[in-house]
Amino acid sequence: MIRASGEFVALTLDTLRAAPRRPFHWREFIQQAWFIVSVSALPTALVAIPFGAVLALQAGNLIRQFGAQSFTGATAVLGIVREASPVVTALMIAGAAGSAICADLGARKIRDEIDALEVLGIDPLHRLVVPRVAACAFVAPFLNGLVTTVGLIASYLFNVVAQGGSPGAYLQSFNALAELSDLWLSEVKALVFGATAGLIACFKGLTAAGGPKGVGDAVNQTVVFAAMLLFAENFLISAAVR
């Protein structure tokens, strides 16, 4: 475990060092970004609906006990924008796109394509990893905006329709606690989480071994490790900006 952590840190540093190198593979970047959007956008939007509804339910029940129903909207906005949106976005990228990236690179690894690139003098990190990590980091803030929008709409509808809340009070309380800086923090979180998910997927793909079974194990480990690291990063970032 310690050795794998060190290898992951080394790959991360090597990827950062290879990122500014020219030429940047724009075609690969665009293809990967479009692929991530195609496999992640719909599941991300669908998952955001229950998240928004659950937050509205819990926030509404809690605030109602204190007689502050007018702050339901502000509380839901803080929960969705600050915490739920970037985490949901990162989990969807890791689960849908990250697993596919890991499977692709793992298949190349067991077919010795990665070694062939190195023999030809082509750096696999610069050619394969950098465009994929950049695509994950680029797409994540846009998906985060989608989750925020869908989650807020679901929260509003659930609070107004199911809980009998006041539409005017819900909308008016948006600015009571939430600020524009909360949205920027959410976008920064999404970018960091997206890059992290891409790095983990690439690392597990490039270190896959043992044939097709090894690739399958690497895909499973990608989702698990990405979730663990993303929650840890979310805590550290949230604690640092308090």
Tens of pLDDT along 52-65?
777 767 766 666 66
Structure confidence at residue 29 as a pLDDT band (50, 70, 90) = very high
For 222, other C-beta atoms within 10 Å of its C-beta total 27
Alpha-carbon span 156 to 162, nearest angstrom: 10
- pLDDT tops 70 at residue 227: yes
Q: How many CA atoms lie within 13 A of 218 on its CB side?
A: 28
Confidence of residue 77 (pLDDT cuts 50, 70, 90): confident
Positive or negative torsion for Cα 196, 88, 132, 138? negative
- Cα distances (angstroms) measured from residue 154 to each of 48, 122, 123: 8, 48, 46
Higher local confidence (pLDDT), 156 or 228: 228
Least confident window among 138-152, 167-181, 219-233: 167-181
Residue pair 200/98 in contact by the 8 Å Cβ criterion:
yes
| DSSP SS3 for 165 | coil
Residue 236 pLDDT class (50, 70, 90 cuts):
confident
Asked whether residue 8 carries a pLDDT value surpassing 60, the answer given is yes
Query: pTM of this prediction?
Result: 0.86
134 contacts 31 by C-beta, under 8 angstroms: no
Could you report the per-residue pLDDT of 13-28, keeping only the tens digit for each? Answer: 888 888 888 888 889 8
- pLDDT for 65: 63
What's the confidence (pLDDT) of residue 200? Answer: 92
User: Could you tell me the end-to-end alpha-carbon distance of the chain, in angstroms, rounded to an integer?
Assistant: 32
pLDDT, tens only, 178-225:
677 778 888 888 999 999 999 999 988 888 887 888 888 888 888 888
User: Residue 232: its pLDDT value, please?
Assistant: 86
Q: How much is the pLDDT for 76?
A: 72
* Choice between 91 and 34, residue whose per-residue pLDDT is larger: 34
Burial class of 24 by CB neighbour count within 10 A (0 to 12, 13 to 18, 19+): middle
Give residue 68's pLDDT: 56
The structure tokens listed for 231 are: 């929650």
Helix/strand/coil for 219: helix
Q: What is the pLDDT of residue 173?
A: 66
Q: What is the mean pLDDT of residues 165-181?
A: 68
